Chains A and B, each alone.
Chain A
Amino acid sequence: MAATRRLGTGWTGLGVWIALLGLGIIGPGAAWGQDAATDFRNNCMSCHTIGGGRLVGPDLKGVTSRQDRAWLLKFITDPKAMIDSGDPEAQKLLKESGGVIMPTLPLGKARIEALIDLLESESKLERSKFAGQVVSNRPLGPEDIAAGERIFTGRQALSAGGAACYSCHTVQGVGGLGGGALGPDLTKVFERLGGRKGLTAWLGSPATATMQAAFGTHPLEQGEIESLVAYFQSQTQLAETPQPRQLFLGLGLAGACFALWGLNSLWKRRLGGVRRAMVQKAAIKG
């Protein structure tokens, strides 16, 4: 009896779920409760403003009048494909942003359309709420650089509990073996992401899927961002030369091979056996 009742409840529950899905009430988009403004804040604001001037990417005020809607949709859907296809406008944008390719956003067509709508409506406003944050002009001193290095290497924990930059990134000359190799080398990141303003904006809400996953729930604080920017600025002078690490790897491998060879010749007799060696010796003696 009991088993039958439980089974019945199960089937009813499943039925309700199927019905709700069918009505589109529990769609993924709806479940996250995102609208175009949130999407813009999460995905675009690290590189773009609307009427706030250029960061890494161009100021998007009036972009809908500069480009036609179909082009925008195509570009936002897959920027890399657009650049690779040799589109002259896309090539120009790439050059302007100093070679930084816009990341492919994890958004569907409907949400990109909504974003374009948002761009259009916000461009008409005198002062958009997406004009970008105000970056302080406070001069950055050596203590900021030192603090930035501490944050980068993880000697100072991030206040929101994010992972230290060092675990995935490296900059030239940091640590004995350099930092992680999972993310890109950050030696030139200050130049690449458009200086103090661009880098500050980018660190405030990182755009790539990996960084979002890592820092989405552990955002950096304003003070931390300033220190990191100072640190990266100080690193810009250094050359991005990956050779020493390859040399280190090569030397390591060579050393390991040499050690194995040495051990092997030291314990050569370990696999030699008794009888075979004895017979061979007798054969040589004749």
Chain B
Amino acid sequence: MNVRSQIAMVFHLDKCIGCHTCSIACKNIWTDREGAEYMWWNNVETKPGTGFPTRWEDQDTYRGGWEIKDGKLRLRSANKGYVLGKIFHNPAQPSIDEYYEPWTYRYQDLFNAPEGSDQPIARPVSKITGKEIAIEAGPNWDDDLGGSPVYAENDPNLDSLTEEQREQLFAVERLVMFYFPRICNHCLNPSCVAACPSGAIYKRGEDGIVLIDQTRCRGWRACVSACPYKKVFFNWKTGKSEKCLLCFPRLETGQAPACFHSCVGRIRYLGVLLYDADRIEEVALSSDENLIEAHRSMILDPHDPQVIRQAQSNGVHDSVIEAAQKSPVYQFVKVWKMALPPHIEFRTLPMLFYVPPMSPVMSMRKGDVLTQSDQGLFHEIDNARVPMQYLAKLFGAGHDAKVRYALKKQMAIRSYRRAVTVGDIEPHIANQMLREADCTPAEAEAIYKLTSLCTFEERFVIPPMHREEALEMMEDPMDHKRETGFGLVGKPQRGS
């Protein structure tokens, strides 16, 4: 057992209101620079939809993530012959058109236009070329377009649905959408790290944050292709790749990352998970059906004395173990089993988990009146507007058991709380539902509290980062003290 710590995340999709505040908070801090305008390290997608970049989930096109070949894990994007053949033009790499060409407006036109019979307008100009452009797409072009024949219908996750289900999904009475906020998953088995020919990408040992060393990056863009979530971006100005850094400068000072901090719906949870690093390869090689369970089994119980002992011997600080014990992520992922990794079939083992969303109330037309369905306010999860297969494709590697479990639990807790606060559901029915959903009243209360009444400190359990210890992992400060003082970032420049 090789116990390591990782800052992991849970996004509670049932709470997301799609306000994009997270995206803006991130943009204002990190990507409001030339060459980075098109990047959205945090973005919020409307599902069903094609996302950003367009159809990023379609790995036949983008060749991201891992595949199993001859019983071994292989990068889809980086077999040697393929890379050599495509060295001058990699068709699997998204072009700027799959993201969008960033633009601004020539506001001066509003002031400088000669007097005429028409109102002056500010023309859009590209932020890349500086020339006027016809805007074709943006990062959220399909925002809220539930059922649009262009974007929603081309969602790769709809492939598993039957024709009938598709028609139902896009019928006016059933039209549905939910939001899918995305940041870098800071995976346990990151394909971007594996693909980098310069060795510039690394996963920080102490907290598992995946970072790109800007001095070592040579702009090969292998990571852009390799990341199945398309969360590494190429900066055309600096010629280097960039990605979400989980606001590590904020984490190191005890603050939640900007997108977490600013979240209006309070959907985001952040905490430490302890995991067994020796099992990464074995877990990533599991069959699609067992992937989620295997991934969960890697995450270790921070209360287990043996785990604590191993963690301590691996240099994990006691305060980090303590934070792991309080981690809301551990509760959602491991104890309650409600949070699921996105597209785990890409086999990068994401450390960002999603609580799948409940669908809106089902309504139907009776004569001229639109009423709730016959089953009352809460419907059976199988009759939800979002088909189970769709969610299973997104969060269950195509298998619905885990998604069904998570949704059933949510539904049971809703009924249970309804029985407690409103009383129009009989307590024994509510309790029966809890039992069927593998839940107890105590657990239901705990989930309800962490979902609805959570405080800042309960949502974000940030351990002290112990940078001083992280440094000691790589070099001995006593050596520096003895030999060259405390060391210099660059070599000393002397006059000639």
**Which residues of A pack against B, CB within 8 Å?**
269-270, 273-276, 278-279, 282, 285
B150 near A273: Cβ-Cβ < 8 Å: no
Most buried by B among A275, A276, A279: A275
How near does chain B come to A77, taking the closest CB pair, in angstroms? Answer: 56
How near does chain A come to B313, taking the closest CB pair, in angstroms? Answer: 49
Q: A270-B89, A274-B94 provided; 16 other pairs, C-beta below 8 A?
A: A269-B91, A273-B95, A273-B98, A274-B53, A274-B55, A274-B61, A274-B98, A275-B50, A275-B55, A275-B97, A275-B137, A278-B54, A278-B150, A282-B150, A282-B153, A282-B154
> Closest 4 A-B residue pairs measured CB to CB?
A275-B54, A282-B150, A274-B54, A270-B91
Residue of B nearest to A267 (CB): B91
How near does chain B come to A23, taking the closest CB pair, in angstroms? Answer: 47
A278 near B154: Cβ-Cβ < 8 Å: yes
Q: Which of A269, A276, A285 contacts B97 (CB 8 A)?
A: A276
Residues of A within 8 A of B81 (CB): none
B485 within 8 A of A: no
Residues of B within 8 A of A276 (CB): 97, 136
A273 to B55, CA, bound (A): 11
A221 to B440, CA, bound (A): 109
Render B138-150 as a binary contact track against A, CB cut-off 8 A, 1 for contact.
0000000000011
Q: Which of B53, B61, B150 contacts A279 (CB 8 A)?
A: B150
How near does chain B come to A273, taking the closest CB pair, in angstroms? Answer: 5
Residue of B nearest to A285 (CB): B149
Residues of A within 8 A of B154 (CB): 278, 282
How near does chain B come to A86, taking the closest CB pair, in angstroms? Answer: 59
Q: Which of B55, B91, B94, B95 contacts A278 (CB 8 A)?
A: B55
**Which residues of B pack against A, CB within 8 Å?**
50, 53-55, 58, 61, 89, 91, 94-95, 97-98, 136-137, 149-150, 153-154
How many inter-chain contacts with C-beta < 8 Å in the A-B complex? 34
Residue of B nearest to A282 (CB): B150
Residues of A within 8 A of B58 (CB): 274
Residues of B within 8 A of A279 (CB): 136, 150
30 residue pairs of the A-B complex, CB under 8 angstroms, read A269-B91, A270-B91, A273-B95, A273-B97, A274-B54, A274-B55, A274-B58, A274-B61, A274-B94, A274-B98, A275-B50, A275-B53, A275-B54, A275-B55, A275-B97, A275-B98, A275-B137, A276-B97, A276-B136, A278-B50, A278-B54, A278-B55, A278-B150, A278-B154, A279-B136, A279-B150, A282-B150, A282-B153, A282-B154, A285-B149
A269 to B89, CA, bound (A): 12
Residues of A within 8 A of B97 (CB): 273, 275-276
Residues of B within 8 A of A282 (CB): 149-150, 153-154
How near does chain A come to B349, taking the closest CB pair, in angstroms? Answer: 26
Residue of A nearest to B62 (CB): A274
A199 to B154, CA, bound (A): 80
Residues of B within 8 A of A285 (CB): 149
A275 to B98, CA, bound (A): 6
Residue of A nearest to B89 (CB): A270
Residue of A nearest to B154 (CB): A278
How near does chain A come to B223, taking the closest CB pair, in angstroms? Answer: 19
Residue of B nearest to A272 (CB): B91
A270 to B61, CA, bound (A): 11
Residues of B within 8 A of A270 (CB): 89, 91
A275 to B150, CA, bound (A): 10
A279 to B54, CA, bound (A): 11
A278 to B89, CA, bound (A): 22
How near does chain A come to B170, taking the closest CB pair, in angstroms? Answer: 13
Residues of A within 8 A of B91 (CB): 269-270
A202 to B149, CA, bound (A): 84
Residues of A within 8 A of B149 (CB): 282, 285
A274 to B92, CA, bound (A): 10
A245 to B154, CA, bound (A): 55
Residues of A within 8 A of B94 (CB): 274
A182 to B95, CA, bound (A): 47
How near does chain A come to B106, taking the closest CB pair, in angstroms? Answer: 25
A24 to B137, CA, bound (A): 80
Most buried by B among A269, A274, A282, A285: A274
How near does chain B come to A260, taking the closest CB pair, in angstroms? Answer: 15
How near does chain A come to B394, taking the closest CB pair, in angstroms? Answer: 19
Residues of A within 8 A of B136 (CB): 276, 279
A285 to B150, CA, bound (A): 10
A270 to B88, CA, bound (A): 12
How near does chain A come to B128, taking the closest CB pair, in angstroms? Answer: 16
How near does chain A come to B10, taking the closest CB pair, in angstroms? Answer: 30
A279 to B153, CA, bound (A): 11
How near does chain A come to B195, taking the closest CB pair, in angstroms? Answer: 20
Residue of A nearest to B54 (CB): A275
A282 to B152, CA, bound (A): 11
A164 to B369, CA, bound (A): 99
How near does chain B come to A12, taking the closest CB pair, in angstroms? Answer: 33
Residues of B within 8 A of A278 (CB): 50, 54-55, 150, 154
A273 to B95, CA, bound (A): 7
